[in-house]
Amino acid sequence: MAIHHAGFLLDVDGAEGDVSAALVRRRLERGDFFWLDLHDPSPEQLDLLRDPFGLHPLAVEDAEHFGQRPKLEVFDDFVFLVAYGAGGRHGALVEVHCFLSGRWLITVHRTDCPAFEELRRATVEGRAPAPGPALALHRVVDALADSFFPELARLDDQIDRLEDGVLREPDEKQLQQVFRLKRRLVQWRKVITPERDLFARLAAGVVEIPGMTSDVERYYRDVYDHLIRISDLVDSYRDLLTGAMDVYLSTVSNRLNEIMKRLTIVATVFLPLMFIVGFFGMNFGWMVRHMTGFWPFFWLALVAEVAIVLVMLLWFRRRRWI
């Protein structure tokens, strides 16, 4: 059974099983703490939240509707937390709804959550210590927060390559990539900032959750520190992308100016030549007379025009226009 199918039910001692109402009832009767993960739950699986867990109808309604802001709500015997991670397709956000009581932890998410795979594997293999309720929730939210760092590292590499490409040969695809990455950072910032503020309250003990102690608060302060770092990196990368877009626009503008400069030079060079040709091409013999023979044509049409072009080019170079 894999995490990307229907979820799993995991005991703190590493025993796991497929999600089913019978398995949930047996775990509740035993009274041991367990973690139930529901990935893209069906209506039947969501019914587990009503019976046998007996969650408040408002909490069940929140579990059914995604796209929520990070928040923490305290009910009679459990808390409801909305947290976010990264690692979806193209760095997409992973929204996770967490329900925590003294006997169980329930996580609900619609998209794949790679952060849970290593966490589940470590628990099954016994590499992770058996936690209490607050520590179990900490392991989940810590895995979600840490999932941003690989995505931010990849984003950093993308920005480096983007900056090099803009300086070397700017094109419209790079501008599209800038807007795409900025849109992703805006989406991340919308969830990271309120989640950071939420964990500041948890780390300060303003909000109580089942199993929270002064020692466990240190772990939540560590998550808060990670969220601060993520928030700072998001702001830094957004500034870098803004700078890359400015460099792109400046580079394109400079290239356009250079092209216009060259075209202007060509037009200016041909201006006196066109005057000479136009003047002597008029059909008034008393104005321009008639040129007969090779040498008048040679001196006027070739030597004079070449001399004018050379003089103008020397003047342009002296003025540092070229």
Mean pLDDT of the chain: 84
Confidence of residue 16 (pLDDT cuts 50, 70, 90): low
What local confidence, expressed as pLDDT, does residue 12 receive?
56
Please report, rounded to a whole number, the percentage of residues in the chain having pLDDT higher than 70: 86
* pLDDT tens-digit series, residues 221-267: 999 999 999 999 999 999 999 999 998 888 888 888 877 887 787 78
Confidence of residue 5 (pLDDT cuts 50, 70, 90): very low
Residue 181 predicted with pLDDT over 90: yes
* pLDDT tens-digit series, residues 127-177: 665 578 999 899 999 999 999 999 999 999 999 999 999 888 888 899 899
What local confidence, expressed as pLDDT, does residue 198 receive?
94
Tell whether the torsion through CA atoms of 226, 77, 106 and 190 is positive or negative.
negative
Q: How far apart are CA 54 and CA 143, in angstroms?
A: 28
Q: What is the CA radius of gyration of the chain?
A: 35
CB burial readout 23-39, b (16+ within 10 A) else e: ebeebeeeeebbbbbbb
Confidence of residue 305 (pLDDT cuts 50, 70, 90): confident
What local confidence, expressed as pLDDT, does residue 70 receive?
95
Confidence of residue 188 (pLDDT cuts 50, 70, 90): very high
Highest mean pLDDT among 15-29, 80-94, 110-124, 136-150: 136-150
Q: How far apart are CA 2 and CA 56, in angstroms?
A: 29
Give 7: exposed, middle or buried? Use CB within 10 Å, 0-12, 13-18, 19+.
buried
Confidence of residue 1 (pLDDT cuts 50, 70, 90): very low
HSE-CB for 222 with a 13 A CA cutoff = 12
